[in-house]
Amino acid sequence: MSPTVVAPELEAIPNRYRLPVEAYYRLRDLGFLEGRFEVLDGEVIRKMGQNPPHRICIILLSEWLGGLFGARHVQSEGPIALPVPDGIFSEPEPDVAVTREPTTAYPDRHPGPADLLLVVEVADTTLRTDLLLKARLCARAGIPEYWVVDVNTRQIHVLRDPVEGEYASVTVLSDCDRVSTASRPQTSTSVGDLFHPSPT
């Protein structure tokens, strides 16, 4: 007789308390949380320090996207707002986000799904979280395009077309491929140019 397997979406921790985003801000303001954090599904996640390949990738991505959309349309390591109910318990801070309007157009709120053309996470130790949890949050919010840039394999996971909480189109591009955004398909760059130089 085979053991019963509980589906991951039904596997819950009894009596788990999910921390709302507003409670995180109160704790931070009271001095109970130090450093940089983001809130994902009610969990306070410490933002890890960046190793050089991770940092360089963010810089190269931001420069390329800034050339396409304008520097003020590219937000680096800033929060984005999600709709209710996910927005109650999650406030991601993606490595790079491209906004429809200049980021200065949002002086009293974080850009939300209707403001975002592209969200990008650069992963070295967080690939599973970025491809599963954060991808589903972005898809449920209706963000049209989400990338996960894997610095370890030098690949870009391009996720597009959110449908019922999942991305219907998933493409994995490697070092020698070319990549373009859905909103600027006529302009592409080599995937390899978005990473630190390969060792010779």
Flag whether 7 is in a domain.
Answer: no
Report the number of distinct structural domains present in the chain. Answer: 1
The whole-model pTM stands at: 0.89
HEC sequence for 113-173: HHHEEEEEEEECCCHHHHHHHHHHHHHHHCCCEEEEEECCCCEEEEEEEEECCEEEEEEEE
Give the residue with greater pLDDT, 10 vs 141. 141
Flag whether 173 is in a domain.
Answer: yes
Give the pLDDT confidence score for residue 7 in this predicted structure.
55
- 110 falls in which pLDDT band (50, 70, 90)? very high
Q: What is the dihedral of CA 104, 108, 114, 120, to 10 degrees?
A: 60
Burial of residue 143 (number of CB atoms within 10 Å: 0-12, 13-18, 19+): buried
Select from 15, 35, 9, 12 the least CA-distant residue to 24: 35
Flag whether 21 is in a domain.
Answer: no
Flag whether 161 is in a domain.
Answer: yes
Flag whether 107 is in a domain.
Answer: yes
Flag whether 11 is in a domain.
Answer: no
Stretch 32-59: mean pLDDT: 87
Flag whether 185 is in a domain.
Answer: yes
List pLDDT tens digits, range 149-181.
999 999 999 999 999 999 999 999 999 999 999
Q: Cα 88 to the chain's mean position, in Å? A: 17
Flag whether 199 is in a domain.
Answer: no
Question: Structural domain of residue 148, as residue ranges?
Answer: 51-194
